[in-house]
Amino acid sequence: MGILRGARDKKPKKRGLGAAETALRLGGAMDLPPQMLPGFSHVELWQNRRAVIEGVKGVLSYGESCVQLNIGALVVTFRGADLCIQSYQMEQLTLAGAIAEVHFTS
């Protein structure tokens, strides 16, 4: 026969890693860059004149001085002058102009 345990005898459950943390650790162990993992975005800046963003889910706002993009779990905001979207296809967007600031919010 088994022994019954009381409520105070129970051990607290360990909290597991979230899906994002698990993917990052697995990708790191396999030497994969984050942009190769599903659900992750990648932002690449060329000086302050161009940004290539992969994993774009949508354009939230667009103007010459501010562009906001939905990149899944985050929103990325670009501020500057003469900003323009050069291309947007297959979740990849190229932004050109004088980029002064890049800001991420959840």
Vertex 81, ends 76 and 86: CA angle to 5°? 65
Mean pLDDT value across residues 36-48: 81
- DSSP H/E element including 61: strand 58-62
Nearest to 93 by CA among 48, 41, 47, 40: 41
What does the pLDDT read at residue 95?
Answer: 98
Mean pLDDT value across residues 69-89: 96
What does the pLDDT read at residue 85?
Answer: 98
More confident residue, 36 or 47: 47
Rg of the chain over CA atoms, in angstroms? 21
The answer on pLDDT for 4 being more than 70 is: no
Q: What is the pTM of this model?
A: 0.68
DSSP 3-state assignment of 73? coil
Q: Which domains does the chain have, with CATH numbers?
A: 41-105 (2.60.40.2000)
- Res. 20 pLDDT band, cuts 50 70 90: low
- Res. 73 pLDDT band, cuts 50 70 90: confident
